[in-house]
Amino acid sequence: EVQLVESGGGLVTPGGSLRLSCATSEFTFSSYSMTWVRQAPGKGLEWVSSISSSSSYIYYADSVKGRFTISRDNAKDSLYLQMNSLRAEDTAVYYCARDILIFGSSGAFDYWGQGTLVTVSS
Amino acid sequence: EIVMTQSPATLSVSPGERATLSCRASQSIRSNLAWYQLKPGQAPRLLIYGASTRATGIPARFTGSGSGTEFTLTISSLQSEDFAVYYCQQYNNWPPLTFGGGTKVEIK
The pLDDT tens digits for A27-52 are 999 999 999 999 999 999 999 999 99
Share of chain B above pLDDT 70, in %: 100
Residue B99 in contact with residue B3, Cβ under 8 Å?
Answer: no
Q: Could you tell me what percent of chain A has a pLDDT over 90?
A: 98
Min Cα separation A4/chain B (Å) = 9
SS3 B97: coil
What CA–CA distance (Å, rounded) separates A2 from A32?
Answer: 13
Give the residue among A46, A55, A65 at the shortest CA–CA distance from A115.
Answer: A46
The pLDDT-based confidence of A71 (bands split at 50, 70, 90) is: very high
- Distance (Å) from the alpha carbon of B33 to chain A's nearest alpha carbon: 8
Q: Which amino acid is at A30?
A: S
Query: Torsion angle, CA of A46/B31/B62/B97, rounded to 10 degrees?
Result: -10
Average pLDDT of every residue of chain B: 97
User: Quick one: chain A helix, strand, coil %, rounded to 5?
Assistant: 5, 55, 40
CA distance linking residue B94 with residue B104, whole number of Å: 26
pLDDT at A97: 98
Any chain B CB within 8 A of the CB of A24?
A: no
Write the CB contacts of B72 (distance below 8 Å, at least 6 apart in sequence): B20, B21, B22, B23, B64, B65, B66
d(CA B48, CA B67): 13
SS3 A29: helix
Residue A121 binned pLDDT confidence (cut-offs 50, 70, 90):
very high
Residue in A26, A35, A45 to test binding to B, most B beta-carbons within 10 Å: A45
pLDDT-derived band at A111 (thresholds 50, 70, 90) equals: very high
For residue A116, the model assigns a pLDDT of 98
List the one residue out of B45, B47, B50, B44 whose CA is nearest residue B90.
Answer: B50
What is the reported pLDDT for A37? 98
Give Cβ neighbours of residue B1 (< 8 Å, ≥ 6 apart).
B96, B98
Nearest residue on chain B to A4, judged by CA atoms?
Answer: B43
Question: Within 10 Å of residue A118's Cβ, how many Cβ atoms?
Answer: 22
CA distance B66 to chain A (A): 17
CA distance A36 to A92: 12
Structure confidence by residue, pLDDT tens digits, B2-28? 999 999 999 999 999 999 999 999 999
- For position B103, what pLDDT does the model report? 98
**Counting every residue, how long is chain B?**
108
